[in-house]
Amino acid sequence: MSCVSESILNTDGGSQHKALNIGVLAVQGDFAEHIAILRRIGVAAREVRLPEQLDGLDGLIIPGGESTTLSRLMSIYSLREPIARMAGEGRAVWGTCAGMIMLANEITEQDPVPLGLMDIGVQRNAFGRQVDSFEQPLPIGPLSAEPYNCIFIRAPVVIRVGPLVDVLASLDDGRPVAVKQGNLLATAFHPELTRDTRVHQYFVGLAESNSPASSLQ
Q: Which residues are catalytic?
A: 97, 190, 192
Minimum CB distance to ligand GLN, residue 180 (Å): 19
Which of 28, 53, 67, 210 lies at the binding interface for ligand GLN (CB under 6 A)?
Answer: 67
Which residues, in sequence order, are CB contacts of 203 under 8 Å at separation 6+?
22, 59, 61, 92, 94, 185
Minimum CB distance to ligand GLN, residue 200 (Å): 17
Q: Assess 71 for contact with ligand GLN (CB under 6 A).
A: no
Contact code string over 15-34 relative to ligand GLN, x by CB under 6 A: --------------------
Minimum CB distance to ligand GLN, residue 186 (Å): 12
Phi, psi at residue 89, to the nearest 5°?
A: -75, -5
Question: How many angstroms separate the CA atoms of 157 and 188, rounded?
Answer: 6
Q: What is the DSSP string of 156-211?
A: -EEEEE-TTPEEEEE-TTS-EEEEEETTEEEESS-GGGSS--HHHHHHHHHHHHH-
Phi-psi region of 154 (alpha: psi -120 to 50; beta: other; left: phi over 0): left
Which of 72, 80, 154, 160 lies at the binding interface for ligand GLN (CB under 6 A)?
Answer: 154
Q: Which of residues 98-117 bind ligand GLN (CB under 6 A)?
A: 98, 101
Q: Assess 95 for contact with ligand GLN (CB under 6 A).
A: no
Which residues make up the interface to ligand GLN (CB under 6 A)?
Answer: 64-67, 97-98, 101, 124-125, 153-154
